[in-house]
């Protein structure tokens, strides 16, 4: 009678990718019971890692300031209670701009969690290294800066067309090819075509005036685009493989890659390369605007707010939270940036780790309602009416020429309340404010998407 997978399970082994080879070897060599036991010793599996019996403590830096925020705050706290049972986690915090992102147990936007010797791809999500960069244009005319930027930047799906692509450094391409997760010619080709692009959703190019100096500032907000999304997909597959082997009770979206493994070290290195790509992407856009205007920058600083940060054997996962502590950013060049919404200033802040913030601050204003809910609440007005009311006095542009009301100011939490809670909980200190002049966003890229046009053509 042939040895099979059920026999391995009866012997206490959990299904694994080595089952097939082991079964083949046992049957081909006609091993007896003692020989089977000796042979299988090499495949001895570690004990399963259970969830924490009770959720690890986390700090709550948020409260409902209005009844419309009650549901959001309750959901954020509930999802953290489930999340903090994940076996690797030792600490957590939620910021004033927090909002849920999916089913209960999934890390919320505005959430920070600390894992021991583990990287959780689901905690940074597909938009790895979503970040903000500021360049000081001195006394340049803000309209001229916005016009120049509009002619240079690129929003929407996909990358830049051939002939309009911005160069990705050869050094970075070579580094991609040396990493197990990024050594993929299709991924590298996408990384090249997406250089100098900003995507869609809440990503923006903002121009404003420093309250302190009167200088014109350009601020961009976007992440790692398709290269980052590709790394996330690969990371989640590896993490889920580990989850099935060592902690099947853990929710799939909370799976982790043990850092001490070969895969863990390689994934950590891949994250740093994607971070470098993202910073290079911001820099390409800013430098192109400076060159077009023949201006030298007066200052520049940058920070991510959707990433993983390492301190010894602890991995701080910030899902939409601004790192304050210098230890998190080896290339720190200045204060941090917290954008709120297109009609509010971008805050320039500084801060240190304290008993409430774990070394982080909010990353923006967050949402109380989904995009769809928000649109429904404004259904009694035309899109043009909503746009006129919410952007009065500002130069607001949509790259697709289609207004997206789910990105207008009322789609977000009250900036005033977020700022008040930053102060109340002592999360960081505001050094300056970039007062809004204008902003470019992708707009409603779904409205006239190419695939929708094709469908209409086929129907005709």
Annotated ligand binding at 240? The verdict is no
Are the C-beta atoms of 115 and 314 separated by less than 8 Å? yes
| Distance between CA atoms of residues 286 and 25, nearest Å | 60
Does the annotation place 341 within a ligand binding site?
yes
Contact 114, 358 (CB under 8 A): yes
Answer yes or no: is 342 a known binding residue.
Answer: yes
Q: What are phi and psi of 115, to 5 degrees?
A: -115, 145
The DSSP bridge partners found for residue 132 are 221, 303
The total of other beta-carbon atoms located within 10 Å of residue 149's CB is: 23
Selecting among 222, 282, 317, 363, the annotated active-site residue is: 363
- Residue 340 assigned to a binding site: yes
Q: Is 120 among the residues known to form the active site?
A: no
- Cα separation, 386 vs 342, in Å, equals 14
365 is in an annotated binding site: yes
Please, are residues 315 and 309 in contact by the beta-carbon 8 Å criterion? yes
Are the C-beta atoms of 428 and 349 separated by less than 8 Å?
yes
Determine whether the annotation assigns residue 339 to a binding site: yes
Q: How many whole angstroms separate alpha carbon 173 and alpha carbon 9?
A: 45
221 marked as binding residue: yes
Q: Are strands 109-116 and 130-136 parallel, antiparallel or unpaired?
A: unpaired
First to last CA, the chain: 63
User: How many other C-beta atoms are found inside a 10 Å radius of the C-beta of residue 171?
Assistant: 10
Q: Is 379 annotated as a binding residue?
A: no
* 72 contacts 109 by C-beta, under 8 angstroms: no
364 carries a ligand binding annotation: yes
- Would the annotation count 363 as a binding residue? yes
Binding residues: 203, 221, 305-306, 339-342, 363-366
Query: Which residues contribute to the annotated binding site for GMP?
Result: 305-306, 339-342, 363-366
Residues acting as catalytic residues:
363
Q: Which residues are annotated as a binding site for Mn(2+)?
A: 203, 221, 305
């Amino acid at each position: 009678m042939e040895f099979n997978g059920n026999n391995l399970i009866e012997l206490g082994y959990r299904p694994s990718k080595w089952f097939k080879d082991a079964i083949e070897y046992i049957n081909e060599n006609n091993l007896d019971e003692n020989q089977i036991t000796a042979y299988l010793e090499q495949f001895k599996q570690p004990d399963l890692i259970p969830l924490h019996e009770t959720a690890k403590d986390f700090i709550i830096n948020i409260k409902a300031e209005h009844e419309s925020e009650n549901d959001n705050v309750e959901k954020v706290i509930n999802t953290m209670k489930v999340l903090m049972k994940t076996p690797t986690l030792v600490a957590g915090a939620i910021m004033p701009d927090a909002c849920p992102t999916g089913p209960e147990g999934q890390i919320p936007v505005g959430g920070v969690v600390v894992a021991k010797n583990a990287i959780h791809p689901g905690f940074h999500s597909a938009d790895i290294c979503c970040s903000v960069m500021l360049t000081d244009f001195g006394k340049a005319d803000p309209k001229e800066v916005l016009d120049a930027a509009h002619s240079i930047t690129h929003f929407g799906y996909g990358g830049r067309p051939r002939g309009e692509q911005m160069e990705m450094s050869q050094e970075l391409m070579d580094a991609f090819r040396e990493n197990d997760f990024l050594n993929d010619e299709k991924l590298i080709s996408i990384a090249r075509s997406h250089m100098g692009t900003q995507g869609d959703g809440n990503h923006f190019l903002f121009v404003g005036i420093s309250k302190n100096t009167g200088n014109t500032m350009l601020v961009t907000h976007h992440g790692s685009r398709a290269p980052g999304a590709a790394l996330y997909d690969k990371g989640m597959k590896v993490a889920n493989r580990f989850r099935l082997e060592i902690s099947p009770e853990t929710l799939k979206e909370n799976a982790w890659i043990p850092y001490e493994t070969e895969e863990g070290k390689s994934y950590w290195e891949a994250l740093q390369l994607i971070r470098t790509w993202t910073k290079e992407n911001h820099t390409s856009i800013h430098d192109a605007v400076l060159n077009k205007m023949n201006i030298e920058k007066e200052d520049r600083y940058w920070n991510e707010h959707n990433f993983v940060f390492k301190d010894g054997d602890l991995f701080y996962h910030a899902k939409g939270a601004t790192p304050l502590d210098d230890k998190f950013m080896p290339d720190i060049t200045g204060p941090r940036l917290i954008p709120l919404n297109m009609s509010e200033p971008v805050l320039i802040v500084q801060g240190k780790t304290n008993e409430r913030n774990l070394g982080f601050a909010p990353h923006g204003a967050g949402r109380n309602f989904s995009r769809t809910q928000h649109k429904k609440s404004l259904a009694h007005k035309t899109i043009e009416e909503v746009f006129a009311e919410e952007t009065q006095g500002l130069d607001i542009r949509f790259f697709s020429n289609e207004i997206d009301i789910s990105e207008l100011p009322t789609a977000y939490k009250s900036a005033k309340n977020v700022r008040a809670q930053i102060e109340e909980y002592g999360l960081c200190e505001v050094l300056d404010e970039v007062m809004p002049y204008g902003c470019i966003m992708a707009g409603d890229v779904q409205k006239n998407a190419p695939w929708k046009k094709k469908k209409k053509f086929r129907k005709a």
